[in-house]
Amino acid sequence: MAVRNTIHRWGAVSQLLHWLIVVLIVVQVTLGTWAADLPAGSKKLGLLARHKSVGITILVLVTLRLLWRWANPTPALPPTLKTWEQKVARVTHVLLYLLLFAQPLSGWMMSSARGFPVSWFGFFQLPDLVPKSKPLYEALLTTHGLLAWVLYAVVALHVAAALKHHFMLRDDVLRRMLPFTSTPGRKP
Amino acid sequence: MTACTRGTFLALTFVAAVCLGQAARSADAAAPAHYVLDQGKSSLTFSFVQAGAQNQGHFARFPVTLDFSPDNPAAGHLEVSVEMGSLDSGDKERDDTLRGDDLFAVTKFPQAHFSATQFVKTASGFEAVGKLTIRGVTRDARVPFAFRTASENGATVGYMTGKTSIKRLDYGVGQGDWKSTEQVGNDVGVTFALRLTGH
């Protein structure tokens, strides 16, 4: 598999970043929802510390991913798509990128507003993004929770579309993001 | 008694009284001055690592009495009582947790104490050697500090500043899950800046 993208297929770097972020989002949702149900205590503190560290990791990975995307060709959408379908696909992808930035940033700001600085796995402490403020913390807490639901909805749409392409339209849209697969007839 | 001898007697009494008075005053100079805390212009803060990040809080009430003279530190005596319930870490939920049974247990141990009767002069200032009691556990502690006096509006004021570090688990601050130092570090920094007014 090529390291760089082609107009037909995602390269190794894009695939690695895509699937790594998928795994980390699953970890994030697990840690976040688990911690939210716990009473204040050492366990909650530990889960939230990891949640914050993983969130910062995603923020870095999505930044790298966008940079890599700009420096590489982007595989083209299948020509069989109608114009509105192409538009929906583009909007979905833009929303996914936006949410992958907005979620870690809203979480980070929320920690700053609460007055609990963020550390990346205990290795280093990040600066506070906003001053300490209770109303701001509460607004960001609500935002962070709402954005999570928006993310679930957009991810559901993204997954449904990928599965539709693979099983119903039988094109290579899903396969070109999967390692160890070939994209027949599309080899450059 | 003649008028002359009476005059001499009075003069001698006067001289004796003056001498005694001066003796008393020089005894005062040797004795350490007595100070009490100016709470409004003093601070006692603590810092700790929570989830890998530096956090801090302070106590609002911590009465102090100090007998101290920089010229004669050996005669010093320091008593500090920290009202543990007056802690403020900037977060209500965290304050409640800190006051709770697993951490400071303020209902059972409302005060922490530091009592020092031994003072040593060091290269950079002084060191108070005494006993620190937190959560009912007493341990030896040495607290370095700097001391200076100033005259403000005719009154003598003492400024005592310093910082030290203690291990919270030495005093049982952290029971149950909080015994772990993974989320909250064992080392706690303590910084003080006290304004003490002469009495």
Each residue's pLDDT tens digit, B122-175: 999 999 999 999 999 999 999 999 999 999 998 899 999 999 999 999 999 999
Looking at the structure of chain A, the number of domains it has is 1
Task: Tell me, yes or no, if B181 comes closer than 8 A to chain A by beta carbon.
Answer: no
Does B74 lie in the same domain as B23?
no
| Residue A52 covered by a domain | yes
Chain B contact probe: residue of A44, A57, A112, A116 with most B CBs at under 10 A: A116
Task: Tell me, yes or no, if B140 comes closer than 8 A to chain A by beta carbon.
Answer: no
Does B37 lie in the same domain as B19?
no
**pLDDT value at residue B21:** 47
pLDDT in tens, A17-27: 999 999 999 99
The closest alpha carbon to B185, from B167, B197, B198, B170, belongs to B167
Does B162 lie in the same domain as B73?
yes
Distance to chain B for A117, nearest Cα, Å: 6
The closest alpha carbon to B87, from B126, B118, B46, belongs to B46
The closest alpha carbon to B35, from B75, B82, B69, B86, belongs to B69
A72 exposure class (CB count in 10 Å sphere: 0-12, 13-18, 19+): middle
Does B146 lie in the same domain as B96?
yes
Residues in chain A, overall count: 188
- Please list, residue by residue across B86-108, b when 16 or more beta carbons sit within 10 angstroms of its beta carbon and e when fewer do: ebebebeebbebbebebbbbbee
| Residue A103 covered by a domain | yes
Does B109 lie in the same domain as B52?
yes
The closest alpha carbon to B166, from B125, B194, B138, belongs to B138
Does B23 lie in the same domain as B75?
no
**DSSP structure string for B82-134:** EEGGGEE-S-HHHHHHHHSTTTT-TTT--EEEEEEEEEEE-SSSEEEEEEEEE
ipTM over 0.90: no
Task: Tell me, yes or no, if B97 comes closer than 8 A to chain A by beta carbon.
Answer: yes
Contacts of A117 in chain B (CB under 8 A): 53-55
**pLDDT value at residue A101:** 98
End-to-end CA distance of chain A: 12
| Residue A48 covered by a domain | yes
φ and ψ at residue A58, rounded to 5 degrees: -65, -40
Does B9 lie in the same domain as B65?
no
Does B84 lie in the same domain as B102?
yes
Distance to chain A for B177, nearest Cα, Å: 6
**Nearest C-alpha in B relative to A122:** B52
* Minimal Cβ distance to A42: which of B55, B96, B183: B183
- Contact between A17 and A61 (Cβ < 8 Å): yes
Distance to chain A for B60, nearest Cα, Å: 19
Task: Tell me, yes or no, if A70 comes closer than 8 A to chain B by beta carbon.
Answer: no
Contact A43 B177 (CB under 8 A): yes
Distance to chain A for B168, nearest Cα, Å: 15
Q: How far apart are CA A74 and CA B21, in angstroms?
A: 97
Does B25 lie in the same domain as B80?
no
* Minimal Cβ distance to A121: which of B52, B54, B91: B52
B contact residues 41-70, partner A, Cβ 8 Å cutoff = 50-55
Query: How far is residue A34 from each of residues A58, A158, B63, B114, measured CA to CA in Å?
Result: 19, 25, 43, 42
Which residues span the domain enclosing B1?
Answer: 1-30
Which residues span the domain enclosing A31?
Answer: 12-177
End-to-end CA distance of chain B: 46
**pLDDT value at residue A163:** 96
Provide the angle, in degrees to the nearest 10, between the axes of the packed helices A83-114 and A134-163. 150
Task: Tell me, yes or no, if A19 comes closer than 8 A to chain B by beta carbon.
Answer: no
Does B66 lie in the same domain as B20?
no
Does B186 lie in the same domain as B117?
yes
CA A165 to chain CA centroid, nearest Å: 21
Summarize the confidence of residues A46-75 as an average pLDDT.
Answer: 96
Does B81 lie in the same domain as B56?
yes
Task: Tell me, yes or no, if B91 comes closer than 8 A to chain A by beta carbon.
Answer: yes
Question: CATH number for the domain including A45?
Answer: 1.20.950
pLDDT in tens, B49-106: 999 999 999 999 999 999 999 988 989 999 999 999 999 999 999 999 999 999 999 9
